């Protein structure tokens, strides 16, 4: 059965801290892994990862995929209160649709 597990489910940090969010998966015929940030309405697309070991970076956010160990991490450095959100990991397989993880709820305190 395809599944995505995220950890931790919730996290509280202070501004300036660095956080690492984890996503592990089991999916048939893996095609890609996606990270989203969800604040109030629609999740905002962050990264799509298809190859192992290649870090994707956007500002203070970065992510990397390990297809051998079946996991991905999302790093946020120098966190700000605006980073507070639910971070969703989703995995897509060829010929299949998405499997979303439960999300990690990040709270960044001033």
Partner 1 sequence: GAVVSQHPSRVICKSGTSVKIECRSLDFQATTMFWYRQFPKKSLMLMATSNEGSKATYEQGVEKDKFLINHASLTLSTLTVTSAHPEDSSFYICSASDSGGLGTDTQYFGPGTRLTVL
Q: Which residues bind partner 1 (CB under 8 A)?
A: 34, 36, 38, 41-45, 48, 86, 88, 90, 96-100, 102-103, 105
Instruction: Give least dist CB 78 to partner 1, A.
Output: 25
The DSSP secondary-structure symbol of 70 reads T
Written in H, E and C, the secondary structure of 13-41 is: EECCCCEEEEEEEECCCEEEEEEEEECCC
Instruction: Give least dist CB 32 to partner 1, A.
Output: 9
Specify whether the CB–CB gap between 46 and 74 falls below 8 A.
Answer: yes
Our CB check for partner 1 shows the closer of 29 and 77 to be 29
Instruction: Give least dist CB 16 to partner 1, A.
Output: 26
């Amino acid at each position: 059965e395809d599944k995505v597990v995220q950890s931790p489910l919730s996290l509280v940090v202070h501004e300036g801290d660095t956080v690492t969010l984890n996503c592990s998966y089991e999916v048939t015929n893996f095609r890609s892994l996606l990270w989203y940030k969800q604040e109030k309405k629609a999740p905002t697309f962050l990264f799509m990862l298809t190859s192992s070991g290649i870090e994707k970076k956007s500002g203070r956010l970065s992510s990397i995929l390990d297809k051998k160990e079946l996991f991905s991490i999302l790093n946020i450095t120098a966190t700000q209160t605006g980073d507070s959100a639910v971070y969703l990991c989703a995995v897509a397989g060829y010929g299949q649709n998405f499997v979303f993880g439960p999300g990690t709820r990040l709270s960044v305190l001033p």
